[in-house]
Amino acid sequence: MQKSYRLSIAHINDTHSNFEPSPVQFTLTDNQQSYQLEGHSGGYARLGFQINKARQQAESEQTPFLFLHGGDSFQGTLYFREFKGAANAHLLNLLKPDAMVLGNHEIDAGNSPVQAFLNRIDFPVLAGNMDLSHEDRLKAGRLYGHPMLYDFDDSSETAKVLIKPFHDTKMAIIGITLDQMRLIARPDPDTHFVNAIDTTSKTIARLKQQGINHIIVLSHLGLDQDRELAAQVDGISLIVGGHSHTLQGQMSDIGLSDIPYAETINNTPILHAGKYAETLGLVELVFDPVGTVTQLVGNNYFMLGEHITVTHVDGNKSVDSNTSHKLIKQLFSHPSVRGSQYDEHIHQVIHTQYRPSLDALENQILAHIPRDFIHTRLPSKHLPHGSEIAPWVSRSMYKSAKHIEPNIDFALHNAGGVRQSLNKGQLSLADVVGRILPFELPLTLYQIMGKYVIEALESAINSATNNGIMGTGAGSFPYPYGLRYFYDGKKIKGQRITQIEIYKQDTWQPLDPNKLYIGVSSAYTAAGKEGYDALLHAHWQQPIEHQTLPEAFVDFVSQHGHLIGKTLFANVHYISHREP
C-alpha cells in the first residue's frame, strides 16, 4: 500500500443556469479612498477552459482528477425559463462532471423535470438520502431505478455510492442533499428524503467494512449543516458542498468574504465555491492510507473579463485614469483572480443554439425605473424594513388577484421568491422573468382566520432567522401588502408578533384573530413551505388560472410602472432576536 494518495479537484455549486458571465463587484482601497470595480466573471465557456486546463495538468502529473457539482444547476436565469433543463444538461455534458448532487431547485417542479434531465446527461446525479422506495412505479416522470440516479437503498438503509478507481485502492463519492426538501421544494408526494447525517454515517460504516477509506461527501446541505455533518460523522475524507452560496477564500482586500478556503472540522475539509458560475474551486490534495487529508492547497477563482469600470464609492467623485489603471492592475494581480480565457466550442453552443431566444425578451421594455430598489432577504441597519422590491411584488400579486376576488385583503410573499434587486433604468421582460422573478410559480387565493396569518408570519420569521428553531434559510422572511406587522424576536415564542394591522377603507385597522380574511400567495408559500405551514389551515384555497408570479409583476409594471418609485407603506417592523 502506498503512503500518500494525490487528488486534483475542480468544483462548482449553485450555478443556477448562469451560462454567460455574471456581473461581479469588488471594493479596493487606494490612498485611504475606497473604489468599486465592476466586471463580469465566469460562465460556462470560461469554466470549460479552466476545468480543461486543470484536467490536463493533473493528467500530465499522473494525478487522478475529479470535477464535481454541488447542486442547484436549475432555475435562476432566462435560459432555464426558455429551455427548462435541456440547456443545463447539454452544457454540463460539455463540462464533463464526474458527478453532481441533487439540489433543491432541481426538484422545484416535482420529479418529472428531474427525469427529463437524467435522460439527457452523461454523468450521475447523486442523492443518497432520496428515498424512492414508495414511488409509483407506473407514473410518468418516475425516478425509481433510473440508471443515472444514485438514490437511497432502502434494503441496506444506506446511500448508493459512486465508486472510482484511486491509485492502488478505491474512492467513494456519496451524494447527500437536504432532508428538509419538502419544506423548500416540491418533490412528488411519494418521494421522501431521509436524515442526512444518519444516512452518511451508515454509508461510511458500510464502506469502511469494504476496505474503502477515501470517501468524499458531495453535499447540498449548506455550510452550517456541512459543519454539523463533519462534526458528527467520523471518517469523511472531504466534503464538497453547495446550497448556501458561500464563497470561501481570503478576499477581504477586494471587498469580499474572509472565510477560509477548506475550513476543516473533525479532520474533514469543507469546500464551497460561491454561486452563479462566477467562481471555480480548484484544489490539490494529499491523503494518507486511511483517507485523512494531510496536505491541501486550493482556492476559489474569479474568471474575470477585461472590461472593468471603476467608480468612487462616494458616487459623486470622478476617478482619474491613472488611479483606474492602478486599481484594475491591483485587482488582476490578486491570487483569487484569473483571466477571461474561454472554451470556443462551449461559447459557440451558447451563442448560436440558446442566446438568440433570449435576445427577443431583452428587447421588450416594460417600464422605466426611477431609482435602484435593493433586495435583501432580512431587514438590516441600512434597510430597517428589509427588501425594497419584495413589497412591490406582493402589491402586484394583490392587484392581479383583485380582478378575480374583489374582496381580497392582503398579499403575502417570501423573500426567497425574489432573486435580485431592481435597478434604475429600462426594465425589460428579460429582467423580470430571467433575473428578478425567475420562478414560474402559480398564484393561490385562500380564505383564512387572522390567528393563522399571525402564526404563519411568526413561524416564517423564526425560520428565516433560526430564532429558536432550525430554519430553512433567510428566504422564508415574509413581505406582505395590505398587512403590516411588528415582530420582536426577543419575546417568547408565540408572542413575537406584537402588533398586526390590515389596510381597509383607506386606514390601518387591527387584524382580528378570529375573523376570516382573503389572501393571495404563490402556490409555493400557500403550500406551507419554509415555515408557512399555518396557511394550510385555510378554509379554502383556489388556484388562480393562467397567472404566475412573474406574469402578475409584468402586468403590474406594464400598466402601473409610473407608481414604482412612490413610497409604499412600511409593512415590516422588525426587532432582531440577537443581542447587539
Residue 307 sits in a domain of what CATH number? 3.60.21.10
One domain, residues 445 and 565: yes
Partner residues linked to 149 by β-bridges:
125
Do residues 324 and 426 share a domain?
no
Query: Do 243 and 392 fall into the same domain?
Result: no
Domain count, the chain: 2
- Of 204-213, 341-350, 430-439, 453-462, give the lowest mean pLDDT range: 430-439
Residue at 447 is within a domain? yes
3-state SS of 29-54 is EECCEEEEEEEEECCHHHHHHHHHHH
User: In this model, does residue 580 exceed pLDDT 70?
Assistant: no
Among 349, 375, 407, the domain-final residue is: 349
Give the C-alpha separation, 533 to 114, whole Å.
Answer: 26
Whether residue 181 is predicted with pLDDT greater than 80 in this model: the reply is yes
**Residue 295: is its pLDDT beyond 90?**
yes
Q: 230 and 119, same structural domain?
A: yes
* Tally: H helices and E strands in the chain: 15, 34
Could you tell me the CATH number of the domain that includes residue 375?
A: 3.90.780.10
Q: Could you report the per-residue pLDDT of 69-80, keeping only the tens digit for each? A: 999 999 988 899
Cα–Cα distance for residue pair 413/181, rounded to 1 Å = 19
At residue 577, the pLDDT reads 61
- Mean pLDDT, to the nearest integer, of 249-263? 94
pLDDT the model gives residue 285:
98
Is 359 a member of any domain? no
Does residue 520 sit within a domain? yes
* Residue at 212 is within a domain: yes
How many CB atoms neighbour CB 7 within 10 A?
23
- Do the domain assignments include residue 354? no
**For 307-326, how does the pLDDT look when each residue is reduced to its tens digit (9 = 90+)?**
999 999 877 778 999 999 99
Residue 250 domain boundaries:
5-349
pLDDT band at 579 (very low <50, low <70, confident <90, very high): very low
What's the confidence (pLDDT) of residue 564? Answer: 79
What percentage of the chain reaches a pLDDT higher than 90?
A: 83
Tell me the three-class secondary structure of 186-246, residue by residue: CCCCCCEECCHHHHHHHHHHHHHHCCCCEEEEEEECCHHHHHHHHHHCCCCCEEECCCCCC
DSSP of 132-201, one letter per residue? -TTS-TTSTT--TT-TTEE-EETTTTEE--EEEEETTEEEEEEEEE-TTHHHHS---TT-EE--HHHHHH
Please determine, for residue 523, whether its predicted confidence score (pLDDT) is greater than 60: yes
Q: What is the DSSP letter of 492?
A: P
Average pLDDT over residues 334-350: 98
Let me know whether 510 and 417 are in one domain: yes
Are 370 and 343 part of one and the same domain? no
- Candidates 307, 326, 346; CA nearest to 20 is 346
Rounded average pLDDT over 64-91: 95
Do 418 and 533 fall into the same domain? yes
Strand 309-312 to 33-41 pairing: antiparallel
Which run of H or of E encompasses 402?
helix 390-402
Query: Is residue 51 within 8 Å of residue 279, measured between CB atoms?
Result: no
The pTM of this model reads: 0.82
The span from the CA of 220 to the CA of 272, in Å, is 10
Question: Do 341 and 454 have their domain in common?
Answer: no
> Mean per-residue pLDDT for 171-182?
96
Give me the mean pLDDT over the 227-245 stretch.
Answer: 97
The dihedral region occupied by 503, where left means phi > 0, alpha psi between -120 and 50, and beta the remainder, is beta
Average model confidence (pLDDT) for the chain? 94
pLDDT of residue 150: 98
pLDDT at 369 over 60: yes
Q: Same domain, yes or no, for 312 and 459?
A: no
Residue 357, domain member (yes or no): no
* Residues whose CB is less than 8 angstroms from the CB of residue 466 and which lie 6 or more positions away in sequence, other chains included: none
Per-residue pLDDT, 578: 54
Q: Which of 288, 318, 349 is the last residue of a domain?
A: 349
Confidence label for 137 from pLDDT (cuts 50, 70 and 90): very high
Structural domain contains residue 360: no
Same domain, 292 and 202: yes
Cell of 84: 427548462
* 398 in the same domain as 307: no
User: Residue 210: which pLDDT band, with cuts at 50, 70 and 90?
Assistant: very high
Select from 300, 321, 349 the last residue of a domain. 349
Say if 358 falls within a structural domain: no
Same structural domain, 186 and 267: yes
3-state helix, strand, coil in the chain (%, to 5): 30, 30, 40
Residue 560: its pLDDT value, please? 85
